[in-house]
Structure 1
């Protein structure tokens, strides 16, 4: 499983690259643009071919699921802590039928202790970040946790087998694609790895 995270700031040719990645089979695109407001999120989504909207998970403005045919919503760590104790209230006005719900974690213990059943969990940083300076990898081993955990932080096409050995069932990638001179080829190499390992 490959989760591609949006670059925080827009990059040149971003939508073109994204549509090509969707063409190549990208199934999980996490739209995380903390500096964009609701309307800017809508404008961004309108630039993406509508047939790919059901592969997009939003980190902010969760109410977008009521307007666009999105894949799901994602809770960043603080938002999860603030809202998931009373999920019934939070989801009351969201059209969540058939949608995924995921969340970010930075401590394996907190992830393991979380009672809410997320579809998958992003845990970071596994390795030192490519996109964030000073974000040191911690080499988490999650083989003992019986949940669907996706490893993030320093992910490239070259360290997927190491991440798999640590017990992760997929990767969240940001800098490994957006900072690459060959993002499409690198994504295809990652796809090939997971196709061959059947996870």
Structure 2
């Protein structure tokens, strides 16, 4: 075991019984301060979580039906990966909000080839749209269905960008030689 040093004076410590919760107590031989040591195992638990996430295994196949695993890795379920826009300039971008749950909308920005960025919010409002658009270079044209707060956000974030409204089938894109065009 590694030597434990006093957090106050830096002196060596020795074992001095246990706390009421069962943790080892340490007493400094120099200043007499008492302390406990807590080991940070976050990296180990994250590694376990990612190992499961990227595997084909189910939690039901784990010992105890995965209950201990879920308890150990509970904090990592709250992590939402957010994309980092690459800074590429696009002529035309399409934006839309997809409601996943009652209080969760995913705002998506995509070019003709791929998703450029996304942002998760509780509602479609100008602040959420601005958070989606601000790290992306302003395009020439943005195509939108005119969701709540979008007009204000585009005026503030991309003031020189032209806005093309779309409805229903007009949002579909078909490929023509040399580019893309909206359906007639």
Same fold (TM over 0.5): no
Greater share of helix residues, 1 or 2?
Answer: 1
Larger Rg: 2
TM-score of the aligned structures, taking structure 1 as reference length: 0.24
If asked which structure has higher relative contact order (CA below 8 Å, sep 6+), I would say 1
TM-score of the aligned structures, taking structure 2 as reference length: 0.26
Greater share of strand residues, 1 or 2?
Answer: 2
